[in-house]
Structure 1
């Protein structure tokens, strides 16, 4: 049976052949072809609708999975905090009968035991607080590797208030980062950065590095620069409209920044191989741009295809 025979009414075909015996067959073939094309078009449209529906469902599933992952992390943090700061269990209760046999011994030993127990509890609590403050306590307690991605850096926008030269090719900047007092930053910027042009410039800083003294001046942040060589250095620039204190985030890395980066872990140095400026001058980490939400991306003023330090 022809594919179009089930579409054309047989009585219609017979009537057409009777009216026009010479061209009736050709007309029938044309009608069958048009009917088949219409059917295939309807099937294709139905397939496209199903594909769109599947894409929407897939996106919803991804969002649900991400929400569940965030909920799981929150539960783990709450469980960890409860374990660290819950009061110590009461000391072991002795048999009343035996305790009544030696009341003098119990009176003398109890204060000493209680003092030792309190001292041990205090040491455990301090160790737990140090782990939480470092930003890696939960990972250590759960027996997993500490998270290592760019979200651990506290990156903020700042405005340079003043800049002066310092010893051994160093310079000192006072930078407003939206806090009550400006931060002092000691940097080695190279010979092509003109210090007299820095005041008023908008820059990007890492604000959770450990404060350290460099040639007699305590540095409390780190300027983010891009460079192609030792002497070719530029300060990374936030997007227009940015204000001091604006956070720099990464769409694919939404984690919380450490309160203070542990110096022993050398977090920034380990992240540096994946920090770069692309061919369009946009600063990025693993293909994800440095972004100030609602304002745009951070860029190098003129350099492209270079590293970030």
Structure 2
């Protein structure tokens, strides 16, 4: 028998071998296989429950997005109508038909027959000219609104929070992956699938504080839904550590950046590739402090986030 026999009580195994020496080993193998299948079934049932919960949340998010889209389209229609109205007013004739010379009158006689321009008409043309100049100055801003201004791309768009790892285990379908259950200060913990190095001792991670990216879109990783991203420090594929939150932090604490204030996105959009654009600037310096373009990962009033032992490495 191989090392899987520890799933069956040794006394039961001995009794079966004693009762039936010839077929006892096959019976034990059958029990062993049944126990493994039962365990895998329990893991899959847990994954299905999490998936159903995510489907409900996704439906709610889709409804919110649809309402925001309708509201945005309505605002764009109103803005376009206002812009067309201003354009018509801008290019409409400013001269009164009374000032147009008669059709049958010789062109040479027109200057003598036309009355001199009055001060009121001159003032009107001046006001229209000022309005036209003001319209040209304001047009870039209105165009930016109608076309959609380019969103900022900096670290303030990431929803980084402190989390406590409640449990950790190897992924049943991938040896290089692990599954963490993490408390991030919400009503229920989040399931997180991470690719840690094979040398990382998983049993030491349980109960530790970590930093998680919480506004990524939930996705399946080898059959298990991952609801956040665990930030790790990596010097190579085999040397990986989780980024540690400062001592005294509590689950749900925000990680902020002094030079980059602002509220994070509700959910990072995959097509904008915000994480891919920011990740090269997420580094651990020579002191072991995590930073973005030299600005430290900070939990206000509690300190800076650090790598446990690595320096001069990347954050992924």
Instruction: Please state which band the TM-score falls in when normalised by the shorter chain.
Output: 0.5 to 0.7
1:236 has 2:243 as partner: yes
1:292 has 2:302 as partner: no
- Cα deviation for residue 144 of structure 1 reads 2.6
- How many Å separate the matches in 2 of 1:293 and 1:242? 9
Contact 1:281-1:300 at 8 Å conserved across structures: yes
Where structure 2 has 5 or more consecutive residues not aligned to the other structure, the ranges are 1-69, 79-143
* Aligned Cα root-mean-square deviation (Å): 2.4
Q: 1:193 aligns with which of 200, 203, 225?
A: 200
- Cα deviation for residue 143 of structure 1 reads 3.6
Q: 1:257 aligns with which of 258, 261, 264?
A: 264
SS at match of 2:258: coil
SS at match of 1:151: helix
Partner of 1:152: 157
Query: Relative to structure 1, is the Cα distance of residues 304 and 262 closer, same or farther in structure 2, using a 3 angstrom cutoff?
Result: same
Partner of 1:116: none
Query: Relative to structure 1, is the Cα distance of residues 144 and 300 closer, same or farther in structure 2, using a 3 angstrom cutoff?
Result: same
| Runs of 4+ residues over 2 Å off in structure 1 | 81-86, 139-144
SS at match of 1:269: helix
Query: Relative to structure 1, is the Cα distance of residues 161 and 140 closer, same or farther in structure 2, using a 3 angstrom cutoff?
Result: farther
Deviation larger for 149-158 or 166-175: 166-175
- Cα deviation for residue 215 of structure 1 reads 1.1
SS at match of 1:170: strand
- How many Å separate the matches in 1 of 2:300 and 2:74? 36
- How many Å separate the matches in 2 of 1:153 and 1:141? 26
Please give the TM-score of this superposition, normalised by the length of structure 2. 0.54
Partner of 1:213: 220
Aligned length: 182
Where structure 1 has 5 or more consecutive residues not aligned to the other structure, the ranges are 1-80, 90-138
